[in-house]
Amino acid sequence: MLTSFWDNCIHSINQQFEDVEEFRIQLTNYAIAHSFDFEYVKNDRVRVTVKCKIPSCGWRVHCSRVGLGPYFQIKTMNNVHSCGGGISTNGHPRASRRWVGEITRKKLIDSPLYRPRDIVKDVFRDYGINLPYHKAWHGKEIACKDLHGDEALSFDHLRWYATAVMNTNPGSYVELECTPEDHRFRRVFVSFGAVIAGFETGCRPMLFLDGTFLKSKYQGILLAIIAKNGNDGFFPLAFSVVDQETEDNWAWTLTCLRGIISSDRRITFISDRGKGLMSAVPSVFPDSYHSHCLRHLKMNFKELLQLLDAAAYGLRIEDYRKAIAEMRCFSQQAAKWVEDSDPDHWANALFPGERYGELYSNCAESFNSWILEARNLPIVQMIDHIRVQMMEMMYKRRNEASEWETYLCPSIMEKMEKHQVGCRGLQVLCSDGNHFEICGRRGEAVNLNDRMCTCRGWQVFGLPCIHACAAVWKINRSIYDYCSSYFLSDTFRQAYAGAILPVVGVQRPAEEEEGSIFIKPPFTKIRPGRKKKKRIESQADPDAITHNRCSRCKGFGHNKKTCRNPVAVEE
């Protein structure tokens, strides 16, 4: 434990510290090392007095400034705890965000990609403190700010940096552009003299163009221009930082590039069909060749999968038709294939039966993964292994369900609670106590007796949609009475009421009876290659839909790494 180094960081009267902040840091480390907490009696720029958090304990330290200088010195100290207790949990109240930032600062210098989850693991291993993830995340943010300073000031430092590069690296080219009205950063182009010369003399006349998102607070786009050396390694030639990947920014970047290329070689550019590149390249380099990246062309075809999802998940017939129409704009052949693939067997809008919104065979696939070990056993042992698994699972779920206090199963209860929240702002007009009209951007009609809504959400999922919930609330009825009985907790308990009983003697061979028929194994053909352990992934498996909240812009559906939203800058 690294806390052993802090056992004596606070030790005696007359001990001195560089300043008051150093004393506070060492005091925190001392409390963590000895697993106790303290509270401040006095805490200002000239004196700090602390005592043990336990009122009856006599531990106390008083430290004050030495003269008019910055040094602090312990004046009085009772270093004996009479409370006999301490912090009994793996956490510690003094393990604050600032403390986490202090202990991770040095690591971040060498490892800028030091992840919060790794911080959690390292803090527990080195200090015995179980750190919450959010505290590790905020601690890293504090350390990064201490190391790199204010990000807003770094844009102003570009002026100095541009001059310094060109002075120290002859032949370099740096172009900085700001908005004329308020002098805000707009874009910068950078290329170093050595690589300019290296490209002219040692690289093929071929450049790769690509843009990537920046992940700092102010974000932006980095437009890269990369050559390739004789060993097929990449050779960075130039790059620019812009606000967005647009035709104007690409044209400006390529214009700067033309200024650093002195030879008359005809350049071949390779890029995706990105924003602005289709017109910027021929406008700046009219005699060049422009190749489109095959990988990006293949990835663009995946957009059809999203339209296929829209056709499958859409609840109304018009939603399905809209998705097919959009798909037809991409590919007539793909749209025809979808229409010929029996959509009434998979599209929500066309499926005639009840499947409660299930579009995938995930349950079967989950089961296949669940019995992965059993699938490697001989047939009898395999069957018994599965039996044992099912027996234990049923016992566990039976006990869990016996403690449920909700009318609906917990996961369904969560869904219905969200529906109840979502229906609060809806205006409901009554017809006859059974039929209701829900006002809004797209009006809906609800029939409670038939358990139908024109949005078709109730019919498809078997649970009252937000429109149905609003109608039920209007007549002061319970929403739970209109849920399918399959979602009730009592129904769940009935499903697990029985128990799978033990089967003994599976490993003991049966005694052969005279005249009995010996069952032979079937003929099989061993396939070439190693046996596969996992199922073959479908090319159409959709990514899991998550609802994250961004810590940068506070929006939903993404995180800080992928955030593109602008952040208001305080003037």
Q: How confident is the model at residue 184 (pLDDT cuts 50, 70, 90)?
A: confident
CA dihedral 296, 299, 303, 304 (to 10 degrees): 120
Instruction: Return the pLDDT at 544.
Output: 35
Of the candidates 128, 147, 166, which is a domain's last residue? Answer: 147
Q: Please, what sign has the CA dihedral across residues 167, 168, 169, 173?
A: negative
Number of domains in the chain: 5
Q: What average pLDDT does the segment 85-102 reach?
A: 81
By CB atoms closer than 10 A (0-12, 13-18, 19+), residue 463 is: buried
Q: Domain containing 244 — which CATH number?
A: 3.30.420
Helix, strand or coil for residue 466? Answer: helix
| Structure-token pair, residue 479 | 């929403």
Q: Please, what sign has the CA dihedral across residues 319, 320, 325, 330?
A: positive
Give yes or no for a contact between 472 and 478, defined as CB atoms under 8 angstroms apart: yes
Helix, strand or coil for residue 1? Answer: coil
Give the long-range contacts of residues 128-136, CB within 8 A, separation 24 or more: 128/1, 128/3, 128/90, 129/32, 129/90, 129/91, 129/92, 129/95, 130/89, 130/90, 130/91, 131/91, 131/95, 131/100, 132/91, 135/95, 135/96, 135/97, 135/100, 136/100
Rounded CA gap, 19 and 22, in Å?
A: 5
Q: In this model, does residue 208 exceed pLDDT 80?
A: yes
Instruction: Return the pLDDT at 3.
Output: 74
Instruction: Return the pLDDT at 259.
Output: 92
| DSSP H/E element including 144 | helix 133-148
Please tell me whether residues 140 and 265 are part of one structural domain.
no
Please tell me whether residues 43 and 137 are part of one structural domain.
yes
Instruction: Return the pLDDT at 345.
Output: 67
Q: Is 366 inside a domain boundary?
A: no
Please tell me whether residues 135 and 203 are part of one structural domain.
no
DSSP assignment of 100-120: HHHHHHHHHHH-TT--HHHHH
Q: What is the 3-state secondary structure (H, E, C) of 421-434?
A: HHCCCCEEEECCCC
**Which residue shows structure tokens 């805490």?**
43
Bridge partners (DSSP) of residue 438 are 428, 444
Of the candidates 93, 125, 147, which is a domain's last residue? Answer: 147
Instruction: Return the pLDDT at 284.
Output: 92
Q: Which of 107-116, 195-204, 376-385, 493-502 has the lowest mean pLDDT?
A: 376-385
Please tell me whether residues 317 and 422 are part of one structural domain.
no
By CB atoms closer than 10 A (0-12, 13-18, 19+), residue 81 is: middle
More confident call, 450 vs 547? 450
Rounded CA gap, 5 and 3, in Å?
A: 5
Please tell me whether residues 86 and 142 are part of one structural domain.
yes
Q: How confident is the model at residue 519 (pLDDT cuts 50, 70, 90)?
A: very low
Please tell me whether residues 143 and 173 are part of one structural domain.
no
Cα distances from 229 to residues 200, 201, 233, 292, in angstroms, run 11, 11, 5, 20
Among residues 49, 36, 41, the alpha carbon closest in space to that of 84 is found at: 36
Instruction: Return the pLDDT at 290.
Output: 78
Of the candidates 266, 298, 330, which is a domain's last residue? Answer: 298
Instruction: Return the pLDDT at 372.
Output: 66
**Residue 326: how many other CB atoms lie within 10 Å:** 16
Q: Is 446 inside a domain boundary?
A: yes
Q: In this model, does residue 294 exceed pLDDT 60?
A: no
Helix, strand or coil for residue 248? Answer: helix
More confident call, 260 vs 180? 260
Rounded CA gap, 296 and 275, in Å?
A: 13
The reported pTM is: 0.48
Among residues 202, 245, 240, 207, the alpha carbon closest in space to that of 226 is found at: 207
> Residue 556 gets which letter from DSSP?
B
Contacts with 513 (C-beta within 8 Å, 6 or more apart), sequence order: none
Q: How confident is the model at residue 542 (pLDDT cuts 50, 70, 90)?
A: very low
Question: What percent of the chain has pLDDT above 70?
Answer: 80
Q: In this model, does residue 525 exceed pLDDT 50?
A: no
Please tell me whether residues 336 and 279 are part of one structural domain.
no
Residue 292 has phi, psi (to 5 degrees) of -100, 135
Please tell me whether residues 177 and 305 are part of one structural domain.
no
Instruction: Return the pLDDT at 538.
Output: 38
Bridge partners (DSSP) of residue 270 are 208, 291
Among residues 284, 170, 271, the alpha carbon closest in space to that of 226 is found at: 271
Q: Which of 24-28, 80-84, 374-378 has the lowest mean pLDDT?
A: 374-378
Contacts with 140 (C-beta within 8 Å, 6 or more apart), sequence order: 100, 101, 104, 108, 114, 116, 119
pLDDT in tens, 242-290: 888 889 999 999 999 999 998 788 888 887 767 688 889 889 999 888 7
Please tell me whether residues 294 and 311 are part of one structural domain.
no
Q: Is 159 inside a domain boundary?
A: yes
Instruction: Return the pLDDT at 547.
Output: 45
Residue 305, amino acid: L
Cα distances from 11 to residues 34, 61, 299, 450, in angstroms, run 12, 10, 64, 78
Most confident of 55-64, 264-273, 386-395: 55-64
Q: In this model, does residue 333 exceed pLDDT 60?
A: yes
**Which residue shows structure tokens 């504090």?**
142
Instruction: Return the pLDDT at 263.
Output: 77
Please tell me whether residues 470 and 564 are part of one structural domain.
no
Q: What average pLDDT does the segment 17-28 reach?
A: 90
Q: What average pLDDT does the segment 139-159 reach?
A: 78
Q: Which of 23-27, 357-361, 404-408, 503-507 has the lowest mean pLDDT?
A: 503-507
Count of all residues that appear for the chain in the document: 571
Cα distances from 360 to residues 57, 285, 379, in angstroms, run 62, 50, 28
Q: What average pLDDT does the segment 116-137 reach?
A: 90
Q: Is 530 inside a domain boundary?
A: no
Q: What average pLDDT does the segment 403-411 reach?
A: 89
Please tell me whether residues 52 and 164 are part of one structural domain.
no
More confident call, 545 vs 33? 33
Q: Is 355 inside a domain boundary?
A: no
Q: In this model, does residue 7 exceed pLDDT 80?
A: yes
Q: Is 391 inside a domain boundary?
A: no
Q: How confident is the model at residue 337 (pLDDT cuts 50, 70, 90)?
A: confident
Q: How confident is the model at residue 533 (pLDDT cuts 50, 70, 90)?
A: very low
**Domain region containing 561:** 541-571
Instruction: Return the pLDDT at 194.
Output: 85
Average pLDDT of the chain is 79
Q: What average pLDDT does the segment 413-436 reach?
A: 88
Please tell me whether residues 94 and 157 are part of one structural domain.
no
Q: In this model, does residue 17 exceed pLDDT 80?
A: yes
Q: Is 40 inside a domain boundary?
A: yes
Q: Is 288 inside a domain boundary?
A: yes
**Residue 347: how many other CB atoms lie within 10 Å:** 23
